[in-house]
Amino acid sequence: NAGVTQTPKFQVLKTGQSMTLQCAQDMNHNSMYWYRQDPGMGLRLIYYSASEGTTDKGEVPNGYNVSRLNKREFSLRLESAAPSQTSVYFCASSEPGTATRETQYFGPGTRLLVL
Amino acid sequence: TQLLEQSPQFLSIQEGENLTVYCNSSSVFSSLQWYRQEPGEGPVLLVTVVTGGEVKKLKRLTFQFGDARKDSSLHITAAQPGDTGLYLCAGAGGNNAGNMLTFGGGTRLMVKP
């Protein structure tokens, strides 16, 4: 199994450009997440999707939109990129059992530089 | 917003030394997870602790959940260069909706041969 895959691995954008980060999981998980990781700040949740057809804002949703295309795929879109969005983006998925024992499985990340 | 503070932020030690990483919060969590992240990869779950006072061992790694379920520690005995990486704690439950996790800022560990 591939687990969680993300494309692209690297991207350089100019301020104002748009792009979509793709994420897919083959574990038949219901929940999917998008995080950004910045130095010294751990992982911050941007958006999540508890199940197919639902999406909700996380801690830092401004400047982003998401689409839960189907159970496997969850995309993150930057409509007008800003230098503050330079970061490493991680997608994750999980299969909620009891809330206290959930494991999130992460993709390898997309490194985004906005000039 | 719940905060998880990790200390130290950076740690550079020689092979064979022992170390402890701390994860502290003013909030109570239902469980606390520890992840390890290697360069260029996503975090990978090491352990989940659920009960206050719980201690779990994973080879040379010992994880403890505080009695009040507000803090946790990770102790590594006789560190190896292969232990090098970013260690992240993450809290679940508490005020978080559903299955959301709150991550700490991470401890970057380097073990020199």
> Tell me: the pLDDT tens digits for A23-72?
999 999 989 999 999 987 789 999 999 888 899 999 899 999 999 989 99
Contact A48/B100, CB-based, under 8 Å?
yes
Contact B45/A104, CB-based, under 8 Å?
yes
Give A46→chain B minimum CA distance, Å: 11
pLDDT of residue A98: 58
B105/A contact by beta carbon, under 8 A: yes
Nearest CA in chain B to A44: B103
pLDDT of residue B100: 79
Distance in angstroms (rounded) separating the CA atoms of residues B88 and A52: 28
By the 8 A CB rule, do B46 and B36 touch?
Answer: yes
Contact A90/B41, CB-based, under 8 Å?
no
By the 8 A CB rule, do B66 and B53 touch?
Answer: yes
Measured between CB atoms, which of B93, B105, B106 is closest to A99? B93
> Tell me: the pLDDT tens digits for A69-100?
899 999 999 999 999 999 999 999 988 665 55
Residues of chain B in contact with residue A96, where contact means CB-CB under 8 angstroms, are 98-99
pLDDT of residue A102: 73
Looking at the DSSP assignment, which residues form a beta bridge with residue B5? B24
pLDDT of residue B101: 87
Q: What is the DSSP letter of B18?
A: -
pLDDT of residue B42: 93
Please compute the mean of the pLDDT values over residues A15-27 and round it to a whole number: 96
Measured between CB atoms, which of B43, B45, B105 is closest to A41? B105
pLDDT of residue A97: 65
Give B42→chain A minimum CA distance, Å: 5
pLDDT of residue B99: 64
Residues of chain B in contact with residue A103, where contact means CB-CB under 8 angstroms, are 33, 45, 48
The parts of chain B modelled with pLDDT lower than 50 are none
B91/A contact by beta carbon, under 8 A: no
Contact A45/B101, CB-based, under 8 Å?
yes
pLDDT of residue B94: 62
**Of residues B94, B95, B105, B29, the one with CA closest to residue B67:** B29
- Within 10 angstroms of residue B113's Cβ, the number of other Cβ atoms is 7
